[in-house]
Structure 1
Amino acid sequence: MPSLTFVLPHWLYWSGLIVFPLLAMYMARRPAAAEARRGYSLPLGYMILVTGGIIGLHRFYLKSLLGLVYLPIFLAILFANAQQRDARADYSDAANLVKVAEDTLAREKPRLEQAESGLAELRANVDATEEGSLSRRSAERKLERAEKGIATSRDRIARSEEDLAKAAPVAQSASDRRTLWNSTAFYAFMLILALLLFDAIRLPALKRKAEEKVAREAESEVEMAIELFEEEEVKDDIRHVSTGWTGAIDRLSLYTGEFVSYWAVIAVFVYYYEVIARYVFNSPTNWAHEGMFLMFGMQYLISGAYAMLCESHVRVDVLYAPMSRRRKALVDILTSVFFFIFAGVLLATGWIFAFQATAVHEISFTEWAIAYWPFKWAIVIGGVLLILQGISKLTQDFRVLFSNAQEA
């Protein structure tokens, strides 16, 4: 299988985080009825073919069960790559033993020959010296060391020859298996590419066929879907937006929360690419995981004001829920001091972190080497949005408190 060497450019990462949510927000605001009449989208079909065609998602999008043809081929690629990884691990272990054994033999055999050739001379030196003399004891020690060295070399050579005899066939077998499964994965991938090319040419015809099938369905189903969509629209988060000048802050929190929510869709595509790169092409990336957890960190920070607007933060509802509206407002006013302490500390700390990271142009320690300072400015943005939303909430609580007091 060919390997993938693509590394996401920094400019594409940041532009994707900005442009994609804007397009998604625009698409989400198109009328539901127009969408129902519009039918299938050919550009969307091609996008699905490019991003998910390897498992036949474009066929499923166009309601064609022939997409199931892709699944066994894709599973065959995954299985072949798994077998290839196992064979590569076996080959690596066996090849290492073979190399160690060959190096030992190359080192010990000349050493043994040299030691054996000098053994006769050492014995002659022992015989030539006088019994019990210092010269004889010295010659005997030299002979003893030489004999021990010869025995050690012979033992190492024997063990190395045994290891070589065992490991060499294993290495050859693992190499053959790796070649076999690599070829299997490659040809299966080529088959998927051929099917994708065929479907890319036929996609307009598949779109027309799918639309004809939908047209034959009962119109009541389409009307029911539109009614359900409209009912969901009534439950939209816009109901949390207040009137007056606080409504501007609420809308800012609403739109920033909606904006960063679409980053989760980006993560789907990125992790899909990572899975395909890792398990199909054996080319894991070092930027996909880092880029996504940094993105989710910014999403968590920036969406805090949206969560506060929609009352999604955790409360002790056992005590809070039964209260009247005026008592809830009073409790919120009294506890807001803790909120503003938290938000203020978040803002101040974030400002210090962001300023320091910008001053030294802090970057990540991975090979991707993306700048960290934009992510740390997200702490500041999140803190500002939280404080603004807190001011809006506090103002609305005072409105409720005073309005109920005047009514009373």
Structure 2
Amino acid sequence: MPGLSFTLPHWLYWVGLIVFPIVAMVLARRPRPAQRRYSSALGYLILVTGGIIGLHRFYLKNLVGLVYIPIFVFILYANGQEQDARSVLSDMANQMRVAERTLAREEPRIAEARESLPALEAEVAGAEEGSFALRSAERRLERAQETIETGERRLVEARAAIEEFGPQRDAAAEARQGWSNWAGRAFYLILALLAIDAVLLPFMVRKANANLPDERKTEAELALEAIEAEEGPKHDREYATNWIDRLSLFCGEFVAYWAVIAVFVYYYEVIARYVFNSPTNWAHEAMYLMFGMQYLIAGTYAMLTETHVRVDVFYAPLSRRRKAWVDLFTSVFFFIFAGTLLVTSWIFAMDAIAVPSGNSVISDWARSDLTLIEMLGSLSLDQWTDPAIRWGEISFNEWEVPLWPMKWVMVMGGLLLVLQGISKFGKDIRAIRQGA
């Protein structure tokens, strides 16, 4: 079975977090077609991401996709058997190594002890009865005999282990290779089917579109949709009354699409781990860092749209003016929290780029070794492209992703939260003045 050795480049990770939401926001704002149609572009996307289990066929309502499922299940079964055989092989190999080390250690010891026996026996025979020399020679002779006896017993056990575990190791190795070959053949069969479907996909899309039923809505359905739209929930853009609100809405929508990235990444991790036996060392860390940044940026959106958790037993029945008074009084605690978050995040962010291992001018500036003017005058393209220049805090696992961008996102989250608090403060004062 072929393996996967792909490691997500750091630059692609950060660029993806910026570019993907922008593209998604543009696509989400496209006008919807009057009638639902199948798309070749979407079909190819599904083929690349989920074609291994025939999802592109199911997207087109084509039951031929069921052919992929038993092949995929067989790959999973074969990989499971291969992992079991690998565990047995590892155990048997360890037992063999222990036995071989025992042979390599004990055989020279026994040979050396046997060579010393005649001299030790002669020394015992020639020593004076009851003397210290006799007792010392007897002890050395006993130790040599014990070494021979113990070593021979260990040699017997080691040879028995080699005879026992050797065939089991060879059988496990053969089983592992066999299951790996079968899994590889099944995988290449799926690749062949995907190559055929990649050629046939435009024809399948046209056929699926030709078989679409007429989806024109009746007047009753249109009237019902109009009533639901009129009585439905408040749209997000209705919350925005100033540029701070619009910024909060934009940031909330921007980071919301990061959840889609997580779907792709974890899907890749599952396929890499269970299909190719190649678990990644970057997927988990990349996603929990992303969700941490999403939580910080989305806080201002939750505050604007009032979607955070709170106890409304006493607050909900109040009038808008009284709610504004309550919000004004409790805003003291909010600004303490938001201000503390902003200040501490700034300290964390500066510390992240001032780590002692950093050898860039930005790290020198963060450590106060350079002034701001000196740092700006020393900046060049090499500071960003030279691999010998390392700056900023990095993670401790093998991926070694820079952590300083996340720390600066914390600063952005704190700043956005403070700005949204100011916007809410102004709205509350306006509500009190208007007596609403």
Count of paired positions: 399
| Aligned-partner residue type, residue 370 of structure 1 | V
Q: Distance in 2 between the 1:255 and 1:70 partners? A: 41
Contact 1:81 1:182 in 2 (8 A): yes
Query: Per-residue displacement from partner, 1:282-318 (whole Å, max 9, x unpaired)?
Result: 1111111111111111111011110011101121111
Moved more, 326-335 or 226-235: 226-235
3-state SS in 1 of match to 2:307: coil
Query: Per-residue displacement from partner, 1:102-135 (whole Å, max 9, x unpaired)?
Result: 2212332343244334434433443344443444
Q: Distance in 2 between the 1:271 and 1:236 partners? A: 33
| Aligned-partner residue type, residue 389 of structure 1 | Q
Contact 2:37 2:209 in 1 (8 A): yes
Alignment partner, residue 6 of structure 1: 6
Contact 1:250 1:392 in 2 (8 A): yes
Alignment partner, residue 58 of structure 1: 56
Alignment partner, residue 161 of structure 2: 163
Shift in alpha-carbon separation, 1:134–1:345, aligned structure 2, 3 A? closer
Alignment partner, residue 137 of structure 1: 135
Q: Choose the corresponding residue for 1:374, options 405, 411, 421.
A: 405
* Percent identical: 59
Contact 1:3 1:282 in 2 (8 A): yes
Q: Choose the corresponding residue for 2:348, options 330, 349, 353.
A: 353
| Aligned-partner residue type, residue 174 of structure 1 | A
Question: Unaligned regions of 5+ residues in structure 2, if any?
Answer: 356-391
Alignment partner, residue 396 of structure 2: 365
Alignment partner, residue 93 of structure 2: 95
Q: Distance in 2 between the 1:53 and 1:223 partners? A: 40
Alignment partner, residue 217 of structure 2: 220
3-state SS in 2 of match to 1:281: coil
Q: TM-score, normalised by structure 2?
A: 0.85
Q: How does 1:9-408 map to 2 (within 5 A)?
A: 9-32=9-32, 34=33, 36-37=34-35, 39-214=37-212, 216-220=213-217, 231=228, 235=233, 237-238=235-236, 240-243=238-241, 247-360=242-355, 361-404=392-435
Query: Per-residue displacement from partner, 1:18-67 (whole Å, max 9, x unpaired)?
Result: 111111111111222x2x43612211111111111111111121121222
Moved segments of 4+, more than 6 Å: none
3-state SS in 2 of match to 1:37: coil
Moved more, 118-127 or 255-264: 118-127
Q: Distance in 2 between the 1:271 and 1:65 partners? A: 27
User: How far has the Cα of 1:279 moved from its partner?
Assistant: 1.1
User: How far has the Cα of 1:15 moved from its partner?
Assistant: 1.6
When you count helix as a share of all residues, which structure comes out higher?
A: 1
User: How far has the Cα of 1:195 moved from its partner?
Assistant: 0.9
| Aligned-partner residue type, residue 247 of structure 2 | L
Contact 1:240 1:310 in 2 (8 A): no
| Aligned-partner residue type, residue 209 of structure 2 | E
Alignment partner, residue 363 of structure 2: none
Query: Per-residue displacement from partner, 1:234-279 (whole Å, max 9, x unpaired)?
Result: 6353354244xxx222111111100110000011001111111111
Shift in alpha-carbon separation, 1:225–1:99, aligned structure 2, 3 A? farther
Q: Distance in 2 between the 1:327 and 1:160 partners? A: 86
Q: TM-score, normalised by structure 1?
A: 0.91
Contact 1:104 1:156 in 2 (8 A): yes
